[in-house]
């Protein structure tokens, strides 16, 4: 086994009818890193996370976690192996409290195998403290703000005690200091020893927390490298801004700042 690679994605492809959501994507996630996954809307980021977490089965290619092939495994099995994810469209159990939602995560993840329900609630309390939601623990999850629901998604994933946590836009809809707080939280999770795959549109976040970045466009991988490397790649700038912007920039016709900076 390659000790440094926690996840190995090889030729991953997902077709929906005639539509290729993801085409022939390969990359590794190394143990202990924070890897960013970026790309314009519809690039295939969520589909890739769906394939890793078992909510979608690859049409072609293989996805391995610690040398074990994940293709065809059910999400709850993959969760127990040590992979947790958040959902872009948050999915709390509406009629459960915040704490109950997190306790469910604590029962079903890698750490859940040997936990009683009392221990799951205890773990839930700890995680809620970690994400600063402890004051809301007895509220119904549907009463939370958007920022609160995003934190709850994070807490549910963390409560599973994953080795790798896949974050699908946990900062969408957050503003100003909320983004800074969420970045601190990601760093704290990383310091805790958890490997992270972070999907985020806010480039400040990617540059601020990721060591490496993979860029997708129209279902294909178009770049991979450090944040500085990928944000200076013409193909990446073009994917975000269109061909005309790149042509204009080459001719010095615009002073407009790249949104990738
Ligand atoms: N279940 C599905 N059935 C059919 N098409 C799908 C399905 N899921 C995704 N797609 C299509 O696959 C492509 C990639 O979608 P995906 O949601 O993975 O993109 P994304 O990079 O996460 O986008 P966003 O930034 O908007 O979240 C899109 O064209 C989308 O319409
Ligand atoms: Mg998405």
Closest C-alpha to ligand 1, atom 28: 42
Closest C-alpha to ligand 1, atom 4: 16
CA–CA distance, 180 with 72 (Å, rounded to integer)? 37
C-alpha 107 to ligand 1 mean position (Å): 30
Closest C-alpha to ligand 1, atom 24: 41
Specify the pLDDT at position 8.
Answer: 98
Specify the pLDDT at position 195.
Answer: 98
Specify the pLDDT at position 156.
Answer: 94
Q: Is 41 in the pocket of ligand 1 (CB under 6 A)?
A: yes
C-alpha 109 to ligand 2 mean position (Å): 23
Domains, the chain, in order of start with CATH, read 1-82+165-261 (3.40.50.300), 89-162 (no CATH)
The three-point CA angle 191-192-197 to 5° equals 75
Asked if residue 174 lies in contact with residue 199, where contact means CB atoms within 8 angstroms, the answer is no
C-alpha 247 to ligand 1 mean position (Å): 29
C-alpha 22 to ligand 1 mean position (Å): 9
C-alpha 88 to ligand 2 mean position (Å): 6
Closest C-alpha to ligand 1, atom 16: 44
Sheet containing strand 5-16, edge to edge, reads 19-30, 5-16, 60-65, 68-69
Which ligand has its closest atom nearest to the C-alpha of 217? 1
Which atom from ligand 1 is nearest to the alpha carbon of 43? 21
Specify the pLDDT at position 174.
Answer: 84
Specify the pLDDT at position 245.
Answer: 63
Give the residues of the chain that fall short of pLDDT 70. 1-2, 243-250, 252-261
Asked if residue 107 lies in contact with residue 159, where contact means CB atoms within 8 angstroms, the answer is no
Specify the pLDDT at position 18.
Answer: 87
């Amino acid at each position: 086994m390659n000790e440094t690679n926690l996840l190995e994605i090889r030729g991953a492809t997902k077709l929906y009818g005639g539509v290729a959501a993801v085409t022939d994507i390969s990359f590794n996630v190394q143990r202990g890193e924070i890897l960013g996954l970026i790309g314009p809307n519809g690039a295939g980021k969520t589909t890739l996370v769906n394939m890793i977490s078992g909510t979608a089965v690859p049409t072609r290619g293989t996805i391995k976690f610690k040398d074990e092939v994940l293709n065809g495994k059910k999400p709850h099995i993959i969760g127990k192996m040590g992979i947790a994810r958040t959902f872009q469209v948050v999915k709390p159990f509406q009629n459960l409290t915040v704490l109950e939602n997190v306790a469910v995560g604590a029962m079903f993840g890698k750490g859940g195998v040997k936990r009683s329900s009392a221990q799951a609630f205890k773990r839930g309390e700890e995680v809620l403290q970690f994400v600063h939601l402890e004051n809301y623990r007895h509220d119904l999850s549907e009463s939370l703000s958007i920022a609160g629901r995003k934190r709850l998604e994070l807490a549910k994933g963390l409560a599973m005690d994953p080795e790798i946590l896949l974050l699908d836009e946990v900062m969408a809809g957050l503003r100003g200091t909320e983004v800074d707080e969420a970045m601190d939280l990601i760093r704290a999770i990383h310091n805790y020893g958890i490997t992270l795959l972070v999907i985020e549109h806010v480039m400040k976040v990617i540059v601020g927390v990721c060591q490496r970045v993979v860029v997708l466009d129209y279902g294909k991988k178009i770049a991979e490298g450090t944040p500085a490397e990928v944000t200076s790649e013409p193909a990446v700038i073009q994917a975000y801004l269109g061909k005309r912007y790149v042509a204009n920039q080459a001719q010095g016709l615009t002073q407009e700042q790249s949104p990738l900076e």
